[in-house]
Amino acid sequence: MKSKIGRLLYLVVPVLALLVGAYFVFDAGKALQTGMPVHKFSNTASQQHEWEEILAAFSHPVAVFILQLITIIIASQLCAYLFKKIGQPAVMGEIVAGILLGPSLMGAIAPGFTAFIFPAASLGNLQMLSQVGLILFMFVIGMELDPALIRKKAGAAVLISNMSIVVPFGLGIGMSYFLYTKYAVPGIPFYAFALFVGIAMSITAFPVLARIIRERGLTNSKLGAVALTSAAVGDIAGWCLLAVVIAIVKAGSLGTALYTLIATVVFMVVLLAVFRPLLKRMAGLKTDDKLLKRSTMALVFVVLLLCAYSSEVIGIHALFGAFMAGVIMPVEWSFRKVIIDKIEDVSLVLLLPLFFVFTGLRTQVGLLNDSSLWGVCGVIIAIAILGKFGGSAIAARLSGENMHDSLAIGVLMNTRGLMELIILNIGYDLGILSPQMFTMMVIMALVTTFMTSPLLNLLGRVYKVKG
């Protein structure tokens, strides 16, 4: 009992002493105000000033950004949960969440909500942080490419990956001839528009495809191995082709384009011939329970950021450098696994949804306000499916795969998802894609990704194949 009273006194006495001392100091301090102007407010003005201060706190950039994070994380996780319930990849739900938070839904039914959560002044910060998320994501994608798998299945995958790029790329260039006059940004050369539409039609969403294969238990099957290898080879080829296209588009002249392409080749040679062996040697020295020390992790981030910075300065976009930084990481799985685990949660849960929302804020379905525009969108979707699904399935069949596996590979390679959105945003930032064209291409990416799981299920029932 006495000990409790003693502890109470220890708590109360210092507080009382502080209050009494503060009172006397404040009272004595009044004398210091002599001769100084005293600001007086009327009661009404004072109340108005207080309310203005309270409301200003809600519009402070930090407060706005935190509220955006809360809204984005809740919406993306909720949509991801709902989409997983209907057999779709979680990333599809996150992409749709970004679209729903933009002008296509919330901006239309509750414009005040969108203006409050995503004021125009905050979009620059949102875009910058979303780019950080993409850089980390592309780094992880580069590390998830398994060189051993690519070498093992390269023979079967080369034809498939080649056809899965060449056919849709050619169809995309042909389609751009009919779209250029009406849907290209004024002042953009035809070759820039055509090249970008071609590469946008050619990409495969390797991370989404890998997750679908993993969820279906196909990772160790022949179908899964061929599809993964084809997508991996196609991703490398696609991003290299994208780097060339960006270099040509941004250069504006033959001399500048040539410099950019030469600098890109030198950049890749230095990465593969210098940095990769150094990192491999460093990985071989790590024997401490497969854990990375802070200094090692710091070095990994420095390499990542240097690669991203170099590719951005060269003129081929920071994301290509981040992707290549992941590719040159040592092949020891334990080394890669630790890095992926350290980066993936922050990138996928916190930063990457910012990109989906930023894309959603740019996607304005309301721009497709007549049947002719929806007809054009339908044609784009049909050509995208014909090029990617058709080219991949035919190539797989010619490589000796059975009919089920050939069609399944075509379906999987037709998955575009997040990778397509990344490329479309690059085109939008470069001023190549108009808002209408951007919206139609985003819808194409959503449709071709959404159809993957249902078509795989249908093929399984038709050919009586499990998985």
Domains and CATH numbers, the chain: 84-118+128-462 (1.20.1530.20)
Roughly what angle, to the nearest 10 degrees, separates helices 371-385 and 154-183?
A: 160
- Six token digits for residue 90: 């979680």
Rounded CA-CA distance 417/422 in Å is: 9
- Give the whole-angstrom CA distance, residue 38 versus residue 368: 61
Which bin fits 329, alpha (ψ -120 to 50), beta or left (φ > 0)? Answer: beta
From CA 145, how far away is CA 207, in angstroms rounded? 10
- pLDDT for 384 beyond 90: yes
According to the model, what pLDDT value does residue 15 have?
81
* DSSP character string of 404-422: HHHHHHHHHHT--HHHHHH
Cα–Cα distance for residue pair 51/459, rounded to 1 Å: 62
Least confident segment among 94-98, 198-202, 348-352: 348-352
Whole-number Å distance between alpha carbons of 467 and 461? 10
408 closest CA partner among 202, 156, 213: 213
Distance of alpha carbon 294 from its chain centroid, rounded? 26
CA 141 to CA 207: how far, in whole Å? 7
Predicted confidence at residue 307, as pLDDT, reads: 93
- Quote the CA–CA distance of 423 and 444 in Å, as a whole number: 13
User: Distance between CA atoms of 401 and 421, rounded to whole angstroms?
Assistant: 31
Tell me 185's DSSP state.
P
CB 158 within 8 A of CB 396: no
N-terminal to C-terminal alpha carbon distance within the chain? 69
The pLDDT tens digits for 215-266 are: 777 766 778 778 877 887 777 777 778 877 887 777 666 667 778 778 888 9
Using pLDDT thresholds of 50, 70 and 90, give the confidence band for residue 335. low
Distances (CA, A) of 50 to 56, 61, 181, 294: 10, 20, 55, 47
Percent of the chain exceeding pLDDT 70 equals: 86
pLDDT of amino acid 222: 76
* Residue 248: predicted pLDDT: 77
Give the contacts of 343 (CB within 8 A, at least 6 positions apart): 136, 139, 140
Who has greater pLDDT, 429 or 150?
Answer: 429
Query: 2-53: per-residue pLDDT in tens?
Result: 677 777 777 788 888 888 888 888 777 777 766 666 555 555 555 566 666 6
Reference 426, options 208, 191, 250; nearest CA is 250
Burial class (CB in 10 A: 0-12, 13-18, 19+), 295: exposed
Per DSSP, what are the bridge partners of residue 184?
433
Distance CA 127, CA 264 (A): 25
Q: Which residues contact 422 (CB under 8 A, 6 or more apart)?
A: 134, 138, 319, 355
Residue 122 has pLDDT above 90, yes or no: no
Whether 323 has a pLDDT exceeding 90, the answer reads no
Q: Percent of the chain beyond pLDDT 90?
A: 16
User: What pLDDT sits at residue 48?
Assistant: 61
- Torsion, Cα 429 247 278 304, to 10 degrees, reads -10
What is the pLDDT at residue 373?
92
